[in-house]
Amino acid sequence: MYTEQEISAIVEKQRSFFRSGKTLDVSWRIAQLKKLKQAVLAHEKEFEAALHADLGRSKEEAYLCDIGPLIVEINETIHGLRKWARPERHYSGLMCFPSLTTKVCKMPYGVTLIISPFNFPILLTLGVLLASMAGGNTAVLKTSSKSSACTEVLKSFIAETFDEEYVVLIDGGHDVADLCLAQRFDKIFYTGSPNVAKHIMAEAAKNLTPVALELGGETGNWCVVRKDADIRDAARKIAFFKLLNAGQICININQVAVAEEVADEFLLALQEEFVRQIGAQPEKNEEYPRLISSAVYDKCVRLCAEYHDRILFGGSGDRASLKFSPTILYPIDRDDALVQHELFCPLLPVVPYPDSEIEDLMQTIASREHGLALYLFTKDIAWAKRTMQSQQYGGGCINEVCLHLMVKGVPFGGTGHSGMGAYHGEWGFREFTHPSTVLFGKTHFNLPLREHPFHLGNDVKLKILKRFER
C-alpha cells in the first residue's frame, strides 16, 4: 500500500528527471522504445500466462488482442518517430516581415499519469505508455486491481526494464488511484468507464491538467443489420466479436438492430455461428474467456432472470469458472432499459425494426450518448457512407467489425461519453505532445508600422496595414 508521501516522491523524482532534458533527445526515445519491444518479446510467455489467469484467454487470443498489436505499434512508432518529432516550418506572412520563418515544435508535456483497465491489461497499459515515451514524457502507470496477475507481471516487467525516475508502475485499488490524482501531473490518460472518467476530470481540473479519455460509451455501441445485408457474413462476424474476451471490449457490440424482414434468418444464422465457433457448451470450452469477477457474472444472471422470457440462445454459465455463455435476447425494444447502458459482457440484445424506418432508428441512436463504435451491415454503400458521415461515434466499420482498430496510421478515440482525444501511431505521439509555435525574429529591416506613433498624416500606417492584410 502506497502513502501520499511515497507517490509524491515518485512524481517529484520523475519531474526532476524530465527537467534534465534527457527525454528531449529523439534518438534516446527510440532507444527506449527498442528496449520496450525487446522486453515485451522476452516476457511474452509471462504475459500469456497472466492473461489466462485473469481472463481465461487462450495463448492465441492473448497474442491476437494484446501482444501482437502492441509489437506492431511499437514498430510503427520506432520507424515514424523522427519524422513525427521534426519541427514544422511555416511562412510567417508579410504582416511579420522581416521575420518570415516560424516553426512548430512538438514538445512533451512532462510527467504523465496513465490509468489502464482490466480488459486488455497489457495492450492498454503498454500501448499508451509507448505513446507517452514517444512524446518524450516520463510515466506513472496505475493498472487495474481487477486483473491482478497482469498487474503483478507488469510491475516486475517495468521495474526490470526502466528506471523509476522514467517509468514506474503503481498497483492498488481506487484509493491508490485517488492518491495519484491528488498529485500535479502534466497529462493524464485514462481508459475505462464514463462514471470514473467524470471523477478523473474533476480531480484533473484542480490543477488544470489536460486529460485524454478512452471510454466505452454510456449507452453502448450499436450494430445495424439492414434487410439487404449478407446475413451469413454479418452473423459470422458478430458472433466472433461477441465471443472475443467474452464481450468485455470497449468497442464491442452492445446491441444489434436487425431489420424485421430478415430477423428470423439472422437469428438462426447467429445461433449457428456461436455453436460453430465455440461449441454448444461454451463454458466448458478452454478457448472461451471468462468474466473478470463474480460481480459481472452475477449481473449476467440477474439480467437473464429479468429477461428470461426473451432468451433465445444461451443464458447459462458456470460460476466456478466465471464463464457465461453468449446469450441472445430477443425481441428487445429500442427503448428497453437493457439497451440504455453499456453491458460489457456476453449478453447480446437484438432489436427488431422495419427496414423502411431505418432513418427513424438512426435518429434514436443519434439522440443517445455517443458510442465508441458503430457497425453497419448493408449492400447500400452509399447509404452507409452518408450514415457514417452524419452520426457521432468514435470509429467503426461497414460490413465488418473491430478491424478499424488494427489499421496503421489512423486515430483511435471517442467523443462525448465515449471519450476525448485519440491515439495509436502518430496520433498517440500528438496526444502526448504540445505544439509550440516559435517565430524567428530578424534584427534588421524591421518596419515601423506596428510601433507608435500609429497616427502619421492621413492614416498612412493604417492604410499600409490594411493593404498587407487584404
113 with 177, same domain: the answer is yes
250 given a catalytic annotation: yes
By C-alpha distance, which of 281, 346, 345, 349 is closest to 310? 349
- Written as tens digits, the pLDDT of the chain (470 aa) is 899 999 999 999 999 999 999 999 999 999 999 999 999 999 999 999 999 999 999 999 999 999 999 999 999 999 999 999 999 999 998 788 898 999 999 999 999 999 999 999 999 999 999 999 999 999 999 999 999 999 999 999 999 999 999 999 999 999 999 999 999 999 999 999 999 999 999 999 999 999 999 998 889 999 999 999 999 999 999 999 999 999 999 999 999 999 999 999 999 999 999 999 999 999 999 999 999 999 999 999 999 999 999 999 999 999 999 999 999 999 999 999 999 999 999 999 999 999 999 999 999 999 999 999 999 999 999 999 999 999 999 999 999 999 999 999 999 999 999 999 999 999 999 999 999 999 999 988 887 767 777 665 557 666 766 776 66
Q: Single out the catalytic residue among 65, 150, 223, 250.
A: 250
- Here the CATH number for the domain that contains residue 341 is 3.40.309.10
The answer, yes or no, to whether the previous bond of 98 is cis (omega within 30 of 0) is yes
Cα–Cα dist 85/390, whole Å: 33
Asked if 201 and 260 sit in the same domain, the reply is no
Residue 321 located in a structural domain: yes
**In this structure, are 285 and 364 located in the same domain?**
yes
In a domain, 154, yes or no: yes
C-alpha cell at 290: 471468462
Cα(292)–Cα(57) distance, integer angstroms: 11
Based on the domain organization, do 204 and 229 belong to the same domain? no
Catalytic status, residue 214: yes
The catalytically annotated residue of 44, 76, 214, 283 is: 214
| Residues 158, 116 share a domain | yes
Assess if residue 203 is contained within a domain. Answer: yes
In a domain, residue 454? The reply is: no
- Largest Cα separation within the chain, whole Å, is 92
What gap in Å lies between CA 167 and CA 18, rounded to an integer? 11
Q: How many domains does one find in the chain?
A: 2
Decide the pairing of beta strands 167-170 and 221-225.
unpaired
160 in a structural domain: yes
pTM: 0.95
Q: Could you give the angle at the alpha carbon of 426 between the alpha carbons of 420 and 427, nearest 5°? A: 10
| Residues 202 and 225 placed together within one structural domain of the fold | no
If you ran DSSP here, which 8-state letter would residue 109 be given? -
Cell 481465461 identifies what position?
Answer: 56
Residue 421 counted as domain residue: no
CATH of residue 186 = 3.40.605.10
Q: What is the 3-state secondary structure (H, E, C) of 307-372?
A: CHHHEEECCCEECCCCEECCEEECCCCCCCHHHCCCCCCCEEEEEEECHHHHHHHHHHHHHCCCEE
Q: Does 178 share its domain with 249?
A: no
Query: Residue 28's domain spans which residues?
Result: 4-215
Same domain, 163 and 204: yes
Single residue among 159, 189, 215 that ends a domain in this structure: 215
Question: Are the C-beta atoms of 99 and 76 separated by less than 8 Å?
Answer: no
